[in-house]
Amino acid sequence: MARSWCSSRSSNVPALAHAPSLWLMLLLLVGLSDGQLQVGFYSKSCPDAESTVAAVIRQAGAADPTILPALLRLQFHDCFVRGCDGSVLIKGGNKNAEVDNNKHQGLRGLEVIEGAKTQVEAVCPGVVSCADIVVLAARDAVTFTGGPSFDVPTGRRDSKVSNLRDADALPDVHDGIDALRSKFRANGLDEKDLVLLTAAHTVGTTACFFLQDRLYNFPLPGGGRGSDPTIPPGFLSELKSRCAPGDFNTRLALDRGSEGVFDTSILRNIRNGFAVIGSDAALYNDTATVDVVDSYSGLLSNFFGPYFRQDFADAMVRMGRIGVITGSNGEVRKVCSKFN
């Protein structure tokens, strides 16, 4: 969750101003207690951490290319619930863990994160958090699907909490633009971040389960239910031919016609009415997000900006800072799926 900061006035402030050594010492203590994310956090304590994670992700992607978009989705599902703290990885025997929430329907890649953790533990036991592995895995998944290569700061600690109902706050495919904007703002992200992170759908697929309401049970303006009237007729027929009523398992590409390439095609599809899921289509229902979508989907943006690949990487880094636990807080789990 987004953190808020508050300030207060004190009659002691002028006195501190005349005691620079004490003031400096207080600042140093605050910095040490809070901890900081930084690129290369494990460069001394576990110098092979990032390359070890990358090797596991590369191997997993070679065996099953569909796991790479799933790992990208996994970071989103972790960070938007309680922050980027590895809480989504916890498995509860009583089905009350965060991952058991229906908002995490179809979530994959947890076993890949556990495999990376096992490899890292063999090299540097008790050093690298599962929360950091999730973020590193998502970064590597972007790169291995043809997206940008970028640095991510590390130094997160793992949460000691994982509750089923906490995941109710996740954005989902039924959300309109107001709900999406509200959920992103609650995590310190703006409309530009909303568009950029949604554009992660440039790779990957979705199950017909997530289209059933949009195709067959959508609330119509005049009353009753049917198909979302904003879907172009030809595209609607195409979607219905792939996802029959009651078909929950068939999968189709989120980025129609360009599902295997990391590019801005997903944004052009959204602009032209070919968004597959409702939450993607919602981006073209608000002036602020429409302007962002249009800015990246123009043919000249690759040459004159804005530059999608760099901005996407920056948005991923911003998302990776949501609600992090650092310093002496939390823990570094020995096994990602259970607390120490």
Distance CA 16, CA 8 (A): 15
pLDDT at 112 over 70: yes
Q: Structure tokens of 334?
A: 């020995």
pLDDT tens digit string along 243-265? 999 999 999 999 999 988 899 99
pLDDT (mean) for 285-306: 86
Q: What is the mean pLDDT of residues 256-285?
A: 95
Q: What is the pLDDT of residues 200-225, one digit of tens each?
A: 999 999 999 999 999 999 999 889 99
Catalytic residue positions? Answer: 77
Give ∠ CA 290-296-300 in degrees, rounded to 5.
Answer: 130
Q: Is the pLDDT of residue 4 over 50?
A: no
**Segment 157-175 mean pLDDT:** 96
Question: If you average pLDDT over residues 214-242, what whole number do you get?
Answer: 96
* Sign of the torsion formed by the C-alpha atoms of 219, 224, 225 and 228: negative
Question: How many whole angstroms separate alpha carbon 221 and alpha carbon 211?
Answer: 19
pTM (2 d.p.): 0.88
Encode pLDDT of 47-67 as tens digits. Answer: 999 999 999 999 999 999 999
Q: Tell me the pLDDT band of 193, cut-offs 50, 70 and 90.
A: very high
Provide the pLDDT for residue 35: 56
Query: Pairing between strand 225-226 and 251-253?
Result: unpaired
Judge residue 18's burial from the number of C-beta atoms within 10 Å of its C-beta, 0-12 exposed, 13-18 middle, 19 or more buried. exposed
Which residue type is seen at 2?
A
80 pLDDT more than 70? yes
Residue 288 has pLDDT above 80, yes or no: yes
CA distance between the termini of the chain: 24
Annotated binding site: 78, 81, 83, 85, 87, 98, 171, 201-202, 255, 263
Residues marked as binding for Ca(2+)? Answer: 78, 81, 83, 85, 87, 98, 202, 255, 263
Annotated binding residues for substrate, as ranges?
A: 171
Domains of the chain and CATH, by start: 49-169 (1.10.520.10), 177-319 (1.10.420.10)
303, pLDDT greater than 90: no
CA distance 196 to 148: 13
Q: State the pLDDT at residue 10.
A: 35
Task: Report pLDDT for 85.
Answer: 98
Positions at the binding site for heme b: 201
Instruction: Give the HSE-up count for residue 229: Cα atoms under 13 Å, Cβ half-sphere.
Output: 7
- Ramachandran assignment for 146, one of left (phi > 0), alpha (psi -120 to 50 degrees), beta (any other): left
Residue 5 predicted with pLDDT over 60 = no
| pLDDT mean over 108-112 | 98
